[in-house]
Amino acid sequence: MTADQLFKQIREKQSFLCIGLDTDYNKIPKILLDSEYPIFEFNRQIIDATADYSIAFKPNLAFYEVLGAAGWISLEMTVNYIHERYPEIFIIADAKRGDIGNTSKMYAQAFFEKMNFDAITVSPYMGSDSVTPFLEYQNKWVILLALTSNAGADDFQQVVDQNSNTRLFERVLQKSERWGNEHNMMYVIGATRADMLTLVREHAPNHFLLIPGVGAQGGSLADVAKYGFNSKCGLIVNSSRAILYADCTNDFAKVAREKAREIQEEMSQLLNQYKIV
């Protein structure tokens, strides 16, 4: 998918919502456990219920790997289902991979060829050759971890480099601009840091940012929009648990749809307020 296609979808749906398919076997309604692939069945109902309001889906690999081969099959079925039914939707593998060059090449094959993801999250720790193999695919995306929203984020990401006087996450933004560009690379930026978004936008004014921390993890959508928007939106904001598990009865999909619609309405207001759509 191209950046233009993504922006087209944002304008049409007046939304920049990504739904994180962190589908936990222990949290889905018991009635689904009778189906052959309960995780896929849950995902399918969530996808159908929320596709009107979301522009991206983002399965997190851990939730599938924990079920072994059966989990992997549910993941493949989920990706195929989205592509067939909702070809306009952007699909992100939240996998946080990254290894030496020839191994990252294998991961790229796994996620972009064997499965048909549009994007994959990648960890920058091992540097250039751990990232660049993912960038060799036309219309596929790397979403590089820069500044995350979790408790341990400060342990290393805020280290200030003696030579350049920049923080590690800024160095990730700077270095990676030589590997890719705004048409094949995005960044993960924790939304609990709206104050950091201005700094991020200085380094990466035109890139899309994937914001994982709105909702359950805190972070205000209005702040993220204020400091993070660019002229083509430039934001994909994720919500997982707040939508997936808004209701744990057989009405889960209906309630998830309501929850997604609420977020989309707030997003629509912001997109209009900043004259982006």
> Site residues (CB under 8 A) for a second copy?
22, 24, 60, 62-63, 65-70, 72-73, 76, 94, 96-101, 103-104, 106-107, 109-111, 114-115, 123-131, 145, 148-157, 159-163, 165, 168, 171-172, 175
Give the nearest distance from C-beta 188 to a second copy in angstroms: 10
> Computed over its alpha carbons, how large is the radius of gyration of the chain?
18
Q: Select 16 or 111, whichever has its Cβ closest to a second copy.
A: 111
Give the nearest distance from C-beta 103 to a second copy in angstroms: 5
Is the CB of residue 219 less than 8 Å from the CB of residue 211? yes
Q: Select 98 or 234, whichever has its Cβ closest to a second copy.
A: 98
Is the CB of residue 47 less than 8 Å from the CB of residue 20? no
Q: Select 134 or 229, whichever has its Cβ closest to a second copy.
A: 134
Instruction: Give exposure, 71-100, as e/b (b: 16+ Cβ within 10 Å).
Output: bebbbebbbebbeeebeebbbbbbbbbbbe
Tokens of 155: 């342990």
Give the nearest distance from C-beta 15 to a second copy in angstroms: 24
58 has catalytic annotation: no
Which residues sit opposite 210 in a β-bridge? 188, 236
Please count the other Cβ atoms lying within 10 Å of the Cβ belonging to residue 248. 13
Q: Select 52 or 113, whichever has its Cβ closest to a second copy.
A: 113
Which of 96, 105, 226, 232 is catalytic? The answer is 96
Q: How far is CA 128 from the centre of its chain?
A: 21
Dihedral (C-alpha) 117, 118, 124, 130: value to the nearest 10 degrees? Answer: 70
Nearest Cα neighbor of 209 from 106, 92, 99 is 92
Query: Of all helices (H) and strands (E), which one includes residue 17?
Result: strand 17-21
Give the nearest distance from C-beta 12 to a second copy in angstroms: 31
DSSP 181: -
Give the nearest distance from C-beta 104 to a second copy in angstroms: 7
Q: Select 66 or 222, whichever has its Cβ closest to a second copy.
A: 66
Please list the active-site residues.
Answer: 96
